[in-house]
Amino acid sequence: MAEVKANPIVQGLSGGLGRDLMFRRLRDGRTILCVKPDFSRRVFSETQLSHQERFKQAAAYAKWAAKAQPLYAELAAGTMKTAYNVALADWFHPPRILAVAVSGWTGETGATLRVQARDDVMVAGVSVLIRVGETVAEAGEATQADGLWWKYVTQAAVSGQVSGVVRVVDLAGNVGEAAIEVGAGLSGSSGVDVGW
């Protein structure tokens, strides 16, 4: 790849030059000269075809989100990326749950569960589902507390073999999940902190 510097004849050109070369103009104004890629003899594997389908879905999301979600344009400002690029990358990267702090959870009404979650763009929501045995005791949305932390305040008292699921969603609709397992005798215990 050759970079064109201060040449008024080719500066700003884009497109093909003969059969093997092409000019490309980058977003920052630079012009580069490179060899045309040749995909005529390429045969795709099932994995590659599957990824291409996922990429089509990501591209459709990014095309819509670049216009509908101003956050993508804000994150792209001042970089070589466009809002489309940021939205496309967000579609491929699900949010992660870094920690679930249950030390403030006593099993009583009004107890607090804290969830630490991160995404490359934005965590759009955190939800918590609590089960006693196989029965759903409660489910609801957490509120953002500070930084990466979200807080969920329980609405019902629970005891016995308590488990649950924490679900994190990003702006692109990707989901990250983590299970919570707290043994019998939860009421009055200090709980544990679980990290992923």
Q: What is the average pLDDT across 100-111?
A: 81
Whether 195 shows a pLDDT value over 60: the answer reads no
Q: Which position has the higher pLDDT, 20 or 183?
A: 20
Please count the other Cβ atoms lying within 10 Å of the Cβ belonging to residue 91.
Answer: 22
Q: Domain of 65?
A: 46-92
User: What was the pLDDT predicted at 2?
Assistant: 52
Residue with more model confidence, 72 or 11: 72
Q: Is residue 164 part of a domain?
A: yes
Asked if the model's pLDDT at residue 25 lies above 90, the reply is no
Q: Does residue 59 sit in the same domain as residue 83?
A: yes
Burial track 145-177 (b if 16+ CB lie within 10 A, e otherwise): eeeebbbbebeeebeeebbbebbbbbbbebebe
**Is the residue at 53 inside a domain?**
yes
Q: Which residues contact 28 (CB under 8 A, 6 or more apart)?
A: 80
Does 150 reside within a domain? Answer: yes
Assess whether 121 and 149 both reside in one domain: yes
Both 14 and 56 in one domain: the answer is: no
82 in a domain, yes or no? yes
pLDDT, residue 190, reads 33
In a domain, residue 1? The reply is no
Q: Is residue 3 part of a domain?
A: no
On whether both 183 and 130 belong to a single domain, the answer is yes
Query: Model confidence at 34, in pLDDT bands (50, 70, 90)?
Result: confident
- How many structural domains is the chain composed of? 3
**One domain for residues 34 and 55:** no
Helix (H) or strand (E) holding 143: strand 143-144
pLDDT greater than 60 at residue 143: yes
More confident residue, 23 or 157: 157
The CATH number of whichever domain residue 147 belongs to comes to 2.60.40.10
Q: Are residues 109 and 186 in the same domain?
A: yes
Measure the CA–CA gap between 121 and 73, rounded to whole angstroms: 11
User: pLDDT value at position 185?
Assistant: 42
Task: Tell me: do 115 and 152 sit in the same domain.
Answer: yes
Residues 32 and 122 in one domain: no
